[in-house]
Amino acid sequence: METTSIQRIVDIYRKLSRIPTPVKGFLTPTSSTVLKVNVINSQRDLERSEKVKSLRNFVFTLDRFEILAANSPVEITSEQLRTDTKNGNKTVVLRMIKLNKTEEKQFLEIWEESEKIINLDLKALDIHGKVYEDSVFGGLRWSPDEKKIVYVAEKKKPSTESFFKTKSASSKETPDVTPGNEYVYTEDWGESLVGKSHPVPFILDVESGSVKAVENIPDDVSFGQPIWTPEHNILCVGHWQEPRRLGIIYCTNRRCGLFHLLLNENKYEIIGSSDKNVDSPRFSHDGSLLVYLERVAGGPHHQGAKLMMCKWATKEIQVLVDLINFPEGDGFPGIYTVHLPDRIWSSDNNFVVFSSVWRSSEELICINVTTRKLSKLISKRGNYSSTLLDFFDDVILATISTPQSPPVIGRFSNPQKEINWIPLWKENNIPNIAWKVLKLNPTVKTVHPKYPNLQYEAIYIHPIIQTGDFFPLIVWPHGGPHSAYLSSFNLFAAIFAELGFSTLLVNYRGSVGFGEDSIDSLLGNIGVNDVYDCQNAVQTLASEVSFKNIMLYGGSHGGFLSAQLIGQFPDFYKACVCRNPVIDITTKVGISDIPDWNWVECGLEFQFTSLPSIDQLKLMLEKSPITYIDQVKTPVLLAIGKADLRVPPSQGYLFHHALKARNKKVKMCTYDDNHALSKVDVEADSFVNAILWFLNHLNKYKEKK
């Protein structure tokens, strides 16, 4: 490979990291023939070291889908949440203003046409803590009559002060202040939700500007995802806080229920089961039907969901789409999505449409709620991954992309026909990149006796070869382990390709999108089946393409697998980069925000009272990469988040110190960031360091076909 200068790496990173990603879109009718599209994009700003958001509006005709007008993007980074009324004449905005480096304020604004008619300083109101904007608990919803707004905020904590606070002679006693509670430990919901402990719903009366908490709700429940019912009551997802809060981000297995809050009666009822995980309640337009996702509570952190339907008048509940244990061929594998979009119902209330992981892709699926018939919406464009953003007035708004095509917004009408996507802006494909999906069978050694017919896949992304030269390969197993790589745009794979690297993204057995049997097959088999699936994928590809330089790149469970692979196959890989890897399960079991992961993935039953026995610790150690530390020969670069609660930084420190003590080549970068290492400056620095690590350990020749 030719010498690659640091400046060229930086230039390519800067160019491609500017590509905007659509994160939200919503449709608003302006007349019977014209529809407005609002699109919110997220983009990395390297100079400001932050992700900025912009809003862009389009107006198009409904009959021929011709764009009549499109404005330039307007930055809205300070907006945390934004919701329009159904007809688009009013907008409520939750805004965060940074006053200085340490102080910030939230404001709740209501806009009517071009006028801001309400602006509430939420901190000055002093009735709750911060308003939640995250995907787990956050929500900002107009009531059906547009007179009220419901949102979720941290329950106000009792005031406290030091036992030894000096008071003036004229100061009066403050009965609502309890001395000595300054240092009492308060649980929160873990990684990425630090400081978020007890969310409860609040209601803003638009006419009076008053805010009040919803009353007579259980105090041991954290509420989120509020929506209004047809009767102007509130439906929330409620997570039980006892016996303790476990990390909830990326974990769809936490016990919760659907709480129907009857405002005028000051009481509540639970809709459906109280021992499952539920998510994303969505009413039909006429309010007669409610659909929501339901999963098993406990077990693997992410698994398939049932789509449940409730006849609202009678509260009769039925399964609309069930779990799929083993899909036939490339057939429907079950529902694998974390949340549903806000609007998924057709105008006649007969269909719901949303996107779900389907093997190594994300597909739009349409379900007839009467016949329960499910179909995949087929695109005339071919093999694109599609993510639904909005479905309104029978118009679909979605992002579409491939590994070589950055995401664009497409629109389409009538979900019962083949889709011919019409992009809202020019598509800018990354030149000289090709990709394909490999279908793979596990090795005979690791065929699961209970699930012998499972397959898995890997996505191979590579520069287009014109001279016959083949490029170095980066093997990239995903984290989780119950997640998946998709055949959608991947910024870092595109940058790797621009720099001459191929990547192999492995969806080993246990990945989502392949049925429940695949997920269950990995439990108790981490460190073996997932490791051999990755190695088999590499060797299968290497039988077709000659690679002399093969490297590893992975984070979290992908870092676990990378560390396993260099230990179990010590002469195979030229270099390895691990981001916040799991190294020793025995030392992680009591300090992670998800202690159940350690038990479940090792094939053990988790209880909140669980303490590992000697035999269980031995089993956990046997499944850990640290077991193979003496066999490691591959140079290792570690990227560690010092604020990581999911895989504490002590895991990375342990690996670094153990390798260094054995005179192995190792380097570690530590960052003031959490598990995802997703701060813009951290992400950029860790990625450029990874590229340099790979370049420095390449064989000094070009690889030939």
Going by their DSSP bridges, the two strands 395-402 and 550-555 should be labelled as unpaired
HEC string of 571-587?
A: CCCCEEEEECCCCCHHH
* Per-position DSSP letters for 531-596, written without gaps between them: HHHHHHHHHHHHTTS--S-EEEEEETHHHHHHHHHHHHSTTT-SEEEEES----HHHHTTTSS-HH
Low-confidence ranges of the chain (pLDDT < 50): 1-2, 700-705
Q: HSE of 400 in the Cβ direction (CA atoms, 13 Å)?
A: 26
Q: Which of 211, 194, 104, 60 is nearest to 150 (CA)?
A: 211
- Beta carbons of 131 and 153 less than 8 angstroms apart: yes
Q: Domain residues of the chain, as ranges?
A: 132-160+186-340, 433-584+624-700
Catalytic option among 656, 675, 686, 697: 675
Q: DSSP letter string over 104-140? A: EEEEEEEEETTEEEEEEEHHHH-SEEEEP-STTT--E
pLDDT (0 to 100) of residue 418: 67
Q: Which of 279, 533, 644, 673 is catalytic?
A: 644
Tokens in use for 661? 């003590």
Strand pairing of 575-579 and 636-641? Answer: parallel
Domain 433-584+624-700 has CATH 3.30.1490.20: no
For residues 461 and 466, give the distance between their C-alpha atoms in angstroms, rounded to a whole number: 16
pLDDT at 705: 33
Q: What is the pLDDT of residue 35?
A: 87
Model-level pTM? 0.95
Which pair of structure tokens corresponds to residue 635?
């140079």
703 contacts 25 by C-beta, under 8 angstroms: no
CB 180 within 8 A of CB 636: no
Evaluate whether 132-160+186-340 and 433-584+624-700 have a shared fold.
no
Contact 277, 256 (CB under 8 A): yes
Q: Which residue in 361, 301, 359 sits closest to 512, CA to CA?
A: 359
Tokens of 592: 């992670």
- May I ask the CATH architecture of the domain 132-160+186-340? 7 Propeller (2.130)
**E-strand stretches of 622-673:** 636-641, 666-671
| Plot region of 528 (φ>0 → left; ψ -120 to 50 → alpha; else → beta) | alpha
Predicted pLDDT at 168: 73
**Cis ω for the linkage preceding 581 (within 30 of 0):** no
Residue 208: active-site member: no
Distances (CA, A) of 463 to 264, 432, 459: 63, 6, 14
Strand 636-641, strand 666-671: pairing = parallel
Please identify which of the residues 280, 361, 556, 592 carries the catalytic annotation. Answer: 556
Query: Cα–Cα distances in Å, from 385 out to 12, 149, 388?
Result: 25, 35, 10
CA dist., res. 484 & res. 359, Å (int): 8
**Residue 79 CB neighbour total at 10 angstroms:** 17
Which pLDDT score, from 0 to 100, does residue 33 have? 85
Q: 329 to each of 220, 364, 375, how far by Cα in Å?
A: 45, 19, 15
Alpha-carbon gap, residue 447 to 647, rounded angstroms: 29
Q: Is 675 a catalytic residue?
A: yes
Q: Indicate if 260 belongs to the active site.
A: no
What distance, in Å, lies between the first and last C-alpha atoms of the chain?
Answer: 14
Q: Are 199 and 151 in contact (CB under 8 A)?
A: no
